[in-house]
Amino acid sequence: MSTLAVPRPSSVPARLAALAAMPALKQVETIRKGVPAVVFDQVAAALGLGKEALALKLNINAQTLRKRKSRVLSPDETEKSLRATRVFVAAGEVLGSRDEARQWMGEPVMALGGKRPLDLLDTDVGSQEVVNLLNCIKWGAYA
């Protein structure tokens, strides 16, 4: 049985930030090839979540991830991991710190229908709504 301990939040490792900042077509190539499974662990740590909690949020089978420790994530798992990283990095930039981003992403936001940004990261549309809101905050269009 796995532990439910939540790792201490860390900043986004340079490798993850670099992956998230790649040009779109390069990201497509990377997603299709997959990334090492350890990347998922790093994303969870950066968000201050346990691996199983993040898997649940991203609609990824946690049991499959546990069995794949030394392998490469599937394209779907890679895409969801990169998506979560991109949103988290954007939130940190807009809100001023990674700690503020972690807190904001875990709390209900009225502009998102009372949903937590973390709860919208499992779909591209939901993630885009979070990014749209961050852009509104960035440019002062949302108070």
| The predicted structure's pLDDT at residue 69 | 58
Reported pTM: 0.85
Tens of pLDDT along 66-106? Answer: 876 568 899 999 999 999 999 999 999 999 998 999 999 99
| Chain Cα centroid distance, residue 101 | 11
Distance CA 40, CA 138 (A): 28
Can you give the residue ranges of every domain in the chain? 14-138
**In this predicted model, what pLDDT tens digit does every residue of 33-55 receive, in sequence order?**
999 888 898 999 999 999 999 99
Kindly state the tokens that stand for 29: 């190539």
Rounded to 5°, angle at Cα 43 from 138 and 125 = 55
Can you give the pLDDT at residue 4?
Answer: 39
